[in-house]
Structure formats: structure tokens, C-alpha cells
Amino acid sequence: MDGGVQAVPEQAPLAAQPRVAVDAVLFTIADGELQTLLVKIKNGPFRGQWAFPGGLVKVGETLEEAARRELYEKTGVRDLYLEQLYTFGDAHRDPTAHTISVAYFALVPYFAHALQRGEKYADVGWFPVRSLPPLAYDHNAIAASALQRLQAKLSYTNIVYSLLPPEFTLAELQDIYEVILGRTLDRRNFRRKILALGLLKPLQKTRRGAHRPAMLYSFVRRSPMNIEVL
């Protein structure tokens, strides 16, 4: 001690902080199957493997903004249903750094836009959800969690509207439910229940097909709401 001034003990260097990332599971219905968007990793320990699109959250960016940005960069689509799924925080999920991932799931009608892989990925494409390849990181667990959430929400919300075009038939609507749930629904009971809920409005036109013309419908509102469907 010199002149009454105490020496300040030397502090240990601060530990590196975990990084925050988002991963986005985008679902659509195509070719009679529930499909999801995957990207092929170009570099690093998972090079050549498929994963969900994602990345680090930028300074000043919200988690949802980051998830929407990642999806827009791959699809060019902004108007889609997006919901936070779960936080995956295993310290060893990313072998290169301690990275916490906030996962989202999104829904979009199948579209003809060209997918964009960007500079970060080697490839991008749609894959059937029930026959996914082994995924990088913990993304197989994320896939299972997202599918479980989607199946559950079909029973008590109207979010199925996010997977359909503005006009559709009751058969097309039922097909969406059956594809996602992986089971057949009784046609008569399904139609009676769905029409009684007041979710749909009939349009004054039909769609011609192999059989008799089918009435077209649209949703009364295309925004999320809780309602007992199944």
C-alpha cells in the first residue's frame, strides 16, 4: 500500500459469451406430401450435410426479424405464417462455438418461386418431412418438434389457411389435414364440422375436374385464431 491507495486485484479475462442464432422450419404441401425447405452446408464440420436455413442474429435485429430475413433470402417470400417454436441451447450442438438457437416454424402455400441458395449454402431444396436425410447440428430434433407442434395446432387453430391458396375445395382442405396428420378423416364428419365452425365462405363458382364440379371456398379471415377444429 502506498499513499493510502489500495492495489486493485487483477481480474481474469471474461469468458466468451454464447452466440444467438435462429433456425427456420418452413412447411408446405407439394405432390401430396408435407415438405420442408433444407439448405446444404458449404463449409465447416457439417460440410455437405443438409440443415434448416438459419444464421446468427444481427445487432439490433429481433429474433423474428432474423428468421424472416433468413427465409426471405432463400424463397423471396415475405407473407408467411411464422411462430416461435423452441429454444435449443445445448452447449455442444455447434462444435465450432457455443450457439443458442431459437427455432421457428413457418407455413406457406406451395409456390413456383425459384429458391435462392445464396453464398452461404451449396444447395437448397424441398424435402418430404417424413423421409428427411440425416441433418446437421440438432436439426433432426428441431424437425420432430416442429412437426409435432404443427399437428397439435391443427386441432385448435385455423392456421391451415397458411397452406392453401385463396380459393380451394373442401376436398383440398381435407387433404391438407390428412397429409399433415398422417391419417384418413371421415369425409362426411369433417365437412359437417368444418362448415359449422363458420371459418369458410362459399364462392359463387366451381372447379371442374374428373368428377362433378366442386364448390370453391375461401376463409372468412386469413389470420390466426384459436378454435376447436378436430
Domain span(s) for CATH 1.10.10.10 in the chain: 157-219
User: Cβ neighbours of residue 128 under 8 Å, at least 6 residues apart?
Assistant: 33, 34, 35
**61: how many CB neighbours lie within 10 A of its CB?**
15
pLDDT tens for the 230 residues of the chain, in order: 455 555 544 544 444 789 999 999 999 999 999 999 999 999 999 999 999 999 999 999 999 999 999 999 999 888 899 999 999 999 999 999 999 999 999 999 987 667 888 888 999 999 999 999 999 999 999 999 999 999 999 999 999 999 999 999 999 999 999 999 999 999 999 999 999 999 999 999 998 766 788 999 999 999 999 999 98
CATH superfamily for 19-155 is Nucleoside Triphosphate Pyrophosphohydrolase (3.90.79.10)
- For the whole model, what pTM was predicted? 0.89
- Rounded to whole angstroms, the Cα distance separating 6 from 189 reads 82
Write out the three cell numbers for 29: 404441401
Tell me which of 1.25.40.80, 1.10.10.10, 1.10.3720.10, 3.90.1200.10 is the CATH number of domain 157-219: 1.10.10.10
* Closest C-alpha among 97, 71, 89 to residue 142: 89
Residue 8: φ, ψ to 5°: -90, 125
Buried b (16+ CB within 10 A) or exposed e, 146-159: bbeebeebbeebbb
